[in-house]
Structure 1
Amino acid sequence: MSTFEDAEYPAAPYPGARPSCSYVQLDGKGWQLMPSWQVTATGDDLDTWLAARDAPTLAERVPVLTYGSNANPSKITWLRENLGLEGPVVVLRAECTGLAAVWAAGLRVVDTQRPVTLTAMPGATETHAVWMADPAQVRVLDVCEGRGERYQLSRLRSGTVRLEDGTVWDELLSYTGKAEIRRPLLVSGEPVRCASLGQAEAQNLTGTPAPAMNLDVSAVDGEPIPEDYPARVFVYGTLRPGASAWELVEPWVDGEPYPASIHGEVFDTGFGYPGLLRGTNEVPGWVLPLRTPGAALATLDSYEGDEYRRIRAITADGTVCWAYLWKT
């Protein structure tokens, strides 16, 4: 499978069927993504594919864990038709440990189906998805999820979320239950995993709402900023501690830099500084934790100039960092 139609993944019963791959969805059709974030059908790098459609690249999007119907392609088209969702939707398959999708305490008004909510669950491993959502898409999700009423948009610190390329997202976004009706339903004192019970049986469950969400989260105030995800940068050249441009970045560093490596190829640009290309070699450098990453990265963007573009890269242990890639 390299492409598919929405009809192959019906939305009913809630939460709907999901493709067993990462994909990008547009106009009722999905394109499978390789773990390297290339579009399987064309071989294009995903950023290239997005740019060809005048859509924000991955660096201009934020990671939103989705564990319910928003991973369903037909639901995404429903969002387009009913809530004005626009542009390609990037849905990346994710392995979640220590987290579980469970049935919520209240039923949905629109169809009396039981919705899903998220809870911490030590020992659980489930497959869900991460939307790489642009700001306009987040605003649509806010409406869909009833942000501030039914669910809140949160930074999630519970569990571990790992993408197919090895990226481990810490403190990514997720819509977590806020109203009592979106807390986990406790049956005999325990939440009921969606993986163990279908919608038809879930509608007939009886129990009590959990007293709390059992998640380590903090509510997001306002619109999330892509530069905040993550709040660190990988440097390999003049921005390294003690190197010629260290004084530029040092005021923005929050905590101790530490050595790390990413995959790539470093070459001599001939201008007195190196450039980074995609590749398979280990490139040594430093991870710099950042305070106020939006302001810090704006300074670094200006320093790096038009010769580089900022991307998210991963270190050998899966830590996601910003890095500057030489434009070819």
Structure 2
Amino acid sequence: MSSFTDAEYPAAPYPGTRPPFSYAHLDGKGYRIRPDDDLDEWLAKHNAPALAERVPVLTYGSNANPSKITWLRENLGLSGPVVVLRAQCTGLSAVWAAGLRVVDTQRPVTLAAMPGVTETHAVWMADPAQVAVLDVCEGRGDRYQLSRLRSGRVELEDGGVWDSLLAYTGKAEIRWPLLVSGRPVRCADLSQADAQDLVGTAAPVMGLDVVAVDGAPEPDEFPARVFVYGTLKPGESAWELVEPWVDGEPYPSSIAGEVFDTGFGYPGLKRGSDRVSGWVLPLRSPKAALATLDSYEGDEYRRIRANLPDGTICWTYLWKFA
């Protein structure tokens, strides 16, 4: 992966500048990520949690800035590779917040629903320790709350579409959207220098459909569905194992890859450009359901996230030895 330095993307003025692509960040350097890269292989080389062990956090402010990530390392103990995936957000907008930051009197951003608007932001694929650092940085429970976001559409460069991903949304009045003449002001429309002089009123709700998260988010909950292509399909030999965890009607679909005969009486999935047919199973209690499936699949498979043709993201099981 090609690299760049923090100096190429300064943090000032807030919210800083962002690379126009997805990247991984480590030790003051960024590494460009392309949709076809095997990011898990790169993470493994750095003894870091795989993507399956991370949660998606929408970042629409300074946390997408490489220099800010280094600040988090130096000041709040952030460690390990940070994965920042470029995302197109429809129906969502980064807007200027009502209060100023104490540290430098700059105006921070907050999130609002905005039908008809498309903006480019990013999704951190954060491991549990990184979420804990973000909680401190964002003042979780005080300035912002960690929420499941049910508004808008968030699409990654590889076509994957996150539903109900995480985002820090304004909780305290100082982090509510600032209304000027009754409307929020998009960060894309006004510079930091001009935003500091804005005068208006704070709005507690700007059309977002969110549910506050209690405690630490579980990676297995993102998403709450699994794609099956072999013995776990409806009517197949292991269907009875997964059926009690299915919440809603299974439906047929496909993912990119190739199914082959493992020689042990059951199929395996490997990466590829062909389409593999199977079934999507919506899950209740996904953490418990996936623990059951992990045990069934054993050490020969690893669980990954994969995209359906419409971008919907599902869990599935990849053969380790292909």
Displacement, 1:16? 0.1
1:171 matched to 2:164? The reply is yes
| 1:78 maps to 2:63 | no
- Residue in 1 that maps onto 2:2: 2
Matches within 5 A, 1:225-236: 225-236=218-229
Residue 61 of structure 1 contacts residue 134 of structure 1 at CA under 8 Å; is this kept in 2? yes
Matches within 5 A, 1:210-225: 210-225=203-218
1:283 corresponds to which of 257, 264, 276:
276
Q: Secondary structure at the match of 2:298?
A: helix
Q: Tell me by how many angstroms 1:270 deviates.
A: 1.5
Structure 1 stretches of at least 4 aligned residues deviating more than 4 Å after TM superposition: none
Number of paired residues?
321
Q: Which of 100, 104, 115 is equivalent to 1:122?
A: 115
Cα drift, residue 213 of structure 1: 3.7
Seen in structure 2, the aligned counterparts of structure 1 residues 192 and 300 have a Cα distance that, compared at 3 Å, is same
Which one-letter code corresponds to 1:32 in the other structure?
R
1:28 aligns with 2:21: no
In 1, Cα distance between the equivalents of 2:13 and 2:201?
23
**What's the CA shift for 1:272?**
1.3
* 1:327 maps onto 2:316 in alignment: no
Cα deviation code 1:94-125 (max 9, x no counterpart): 00000000000000001000000000000000
User: Residue type matched to 1:177 in 2?
Assistant: G
Shift of 1:188: 0.3
1:18 aligned to 2:18? Answer: yes
TM-align CA RMSD? 0.8
Matched residue type, 1:241: P
Shift of 1:23: 0.2
Moved more, 290-299 or 211-220: 211-220
Q: Contact between 1:96 and 1:125, CA under 8 Å: does it hold in 2?
A: yes
Instruction: Measure the CA separation in 2 of the matches of 1:100 and 1:316.
Output: 26
- Which residue in the other structure is 2:143 paired with? 150
Counterpart in 2 of 1:316?
309
Q: Does 1:132 align with 2:125?
A: yes
Moved more, 208-217 or 247-256: 208-217
Q: Counterpart amino acid of 1:22?
A: S
Q: Distance in 1 between matches of 2:68 and 2:259?
A: 43
Deviation at 1:2, TM superposition (A): 1.9
Q: Could you say which residue in structure 2 is the equivalent of 1:189? A: 182
Residue 251 in structure 1 maps to residue 280 in structure 2: no
Match of 2:155?
162
Q: TM-score, normalised by structure 2?
A: 0.99
Measure how far apart 1:145 and its partner are.
Answer: 0.2
* Identical residues among aligned pairs (%): 80
- Alpha-carbon contact 1:177-1:213 (below 8 Å) kept: no
SS at 2:278 equivalent = strand
Runs of 5+ unmatched residues, structure 2: none
- CA distance in 1 between counterparts of 2:93 and 2:205 reads 15
Distance across 2 between alignment mates of 1:49 and 1:241: 35
Are residues 1:97 and 2:129 paired? no
Q: Deviations over 1:100-159 (max 9, x none)?
A: 000000000010000000000000000000000000000000000000010000000000
1:274-308 CA distance string (max 9 Å, x none)? 10000011100000000111110010001001110
Q: Which amino acid aligns with 2:303?
A: R
Q: For structure 1, list consecutive stretches of 5 or more residues without a partner in the other structure.
A: 39-44
SS at match of 1:122: strand
Per the TM alignment, residue 210 of structure 1 is displaced from its structure 2 partner at its CA by 1.1
